[in-house]
């Protein structure tokens, strides 16, 4: 009867130990819940913190990467538009030059017809004076391009003292029209030269830089960094969770050892040596079975948790640059280290029992 009494008492002690561990766990969960309370309300952001954190970081990384690429694309489009506008302006100015050249040719033809109509010879003084007057007008429109000799200037002074012939007057009117269209051609040439130089400069700068390539590379680096950060969070959370479970198991083992020691002291006071030895044997068998049940239960729980962690990591890595196998490998390595730590705790249990 004494043996049966001790066995039943042992069951009660083991039950009390598990109840104490459960109570401590509930207290910790309640403390975490209370820390989330503020003015009687729970912050919504704390309800699904893990999932929300992963999603938020992924969205932020994608948004930042998209902005980098979009800004680069916008900049490139502006440059392309600038080049296109300059090329169009070059085409417009070339077309203007062609039209003006045709008009100038018509005016030159009119001058030839006037010369024939008035019967002016090409080597006559009247024709030479006309050409000198045209040269002076051109020099006035284009200073620095044409210079008049001293003799030409003296002859112009003489021409100014006498009236122009009708042929010279009509020919100069035509020539003034030619100068107007020639001036437009000169301006068009300058614009074409400036636009061509600008396009060439843009092409050279683009050979030095690779805006879209660099932007795409930067975007990939942003997403990769966000993926690594998320993996770190996942591993850290898994490590913290497993560490808490191991601490709980250690405390339970320690309490069981303390309860066993107390029970052994009671047995030494109320029982004979034979009954004490028998009870010690019985108690040891019961405790081994209880520890084995706890160990099996913990292994099942750990297996389920590890499977969930690996699945979550694979889901998060899906669609990103991070390889799911890489994530699982890192987590498995961490779980292996946690397993070694668990074996150390079991060794501590054995030491306490001894």
Three-class secondary structure assignment of 16-70: HHHHHHHHHHHHHHHHHHHHCEECCEECHHHCCHHHHHHHHHHHHHHHHHHHHHH
Environment class of 27 (CB within 10 Å of its CB; exposed 0-12, middle 13-18, buried 19+): exposed
Mean pLDDT of the chain: 77
At residue 42, φ and ψ (nearest 5 deg) are -95, 130
pLDDT digits (tens, 9 = 90+) for 251-267: 887 888 788 887 877 77
pLDDT digits (tens, 9 = 90+) for 60-101: 888 888 888 888 788 888 999 999 999 999 999 999 999 999
The model's pTM: 0.42
Q: What pLDDT score was predicted for residue 301?
A: 76
Evaluate whether 226 touches 60 at the Cβ level (below 8 Å). Answer: yes
Report domain extents, the chain: 65-209, 225-263+278-354
Q: What tens digit of pLDDT does each residue of 324-346 get?
A: 677 667 767 776 666 665 565 55
Which comes out higher in pLDDT, residue 211 or 44? 211
Q: What is the pLDDT of residue 50?
A: 60
Higher pLDDT, 215 or 16: 215
- Residue pair 314/324 in contact (Cβ under 8 Å)? The answer is yes
- Helix H, strand E, coil C: the string for 295-344 is HHHHHHHHHHHHHHHHHHHHHHHCCCCCCHHHHHHHHHHHHHHHHHHHHH
Residue 193 has pLDDT above 60, yes or no: yes
Instruction: Using alpha carbons, select from 33, 58, 57 the residue that is nearest to residue 47.
Output: 33
């Amino acid at each position: 009867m004494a043996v049966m009494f001790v066995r039943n008492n042992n069951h009660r002690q083991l039950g009390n130990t598990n109840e104490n561990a459960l109570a401590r766990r509930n207290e910790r969960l309640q403390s975490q819940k209370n820390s989330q309370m503020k003015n009687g309300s729970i912050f919504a952001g704390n309800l699904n913190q893990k999932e929300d954190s992963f999603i938020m970081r992924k969205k932020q990384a994608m948004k930042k990467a998209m902005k980098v690429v979009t800004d680069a694309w916008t900049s490139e489009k502006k440059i392309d538009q600038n080049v296109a506008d300059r090329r169009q302006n070059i085409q417009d100015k070339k077309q203007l030059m062609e039209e003006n050249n045709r008009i100038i040719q018509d005016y030159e033809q009119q001058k030839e017809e006037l010369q024939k109509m008035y019967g002016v010879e090409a080597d006559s003084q009247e024709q030479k004076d006309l050409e000198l007057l045209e040269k002076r007008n051109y020099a006035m429109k284009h200073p620095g391009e044409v210079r008049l000799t001293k003799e030409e200037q003296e002859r112009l002074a003489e021409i100014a003292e006498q009236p122009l012939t009708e042929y010279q007057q009509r020919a100069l009117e035509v020539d003034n029209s030619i100068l107007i269209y020639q001036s437009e051609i000169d301006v068009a040439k300058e614009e074409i030269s400036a636009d061509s130089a600008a396009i060439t400069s843009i092409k050279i700068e683009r050979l030095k830089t690779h805006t879209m390539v660099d932007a795409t590379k930067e975007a990939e680096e942003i997403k990769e960094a966000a993926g690594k950060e998320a993996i770190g969070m996942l591993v850290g959370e898994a490590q913290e969770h497993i560490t808490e479970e191991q601490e709980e198991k250690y405390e339970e083992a320690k309490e069981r050892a303390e309860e066993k020691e107390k029970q052994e002291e009671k047995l030494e006071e109320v029982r004979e040596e034979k009954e004490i030895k028998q009870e010690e044997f019985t108690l040891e068998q019961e405790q081994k079975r209880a520890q084995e049940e706890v160990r099996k239960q913990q292994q099942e729980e750990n297996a389920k948790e590890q499977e969930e962690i690996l699945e979550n990591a694979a889901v998060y890595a899906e669609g990103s640059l991070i390889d799911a196998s890489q994530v699982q490998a890192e987590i498995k390595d961490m779980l292996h280290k946690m397993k070694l730590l668990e074996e150390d705790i079991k060794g501590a249990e054995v030491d306490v029992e001894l």
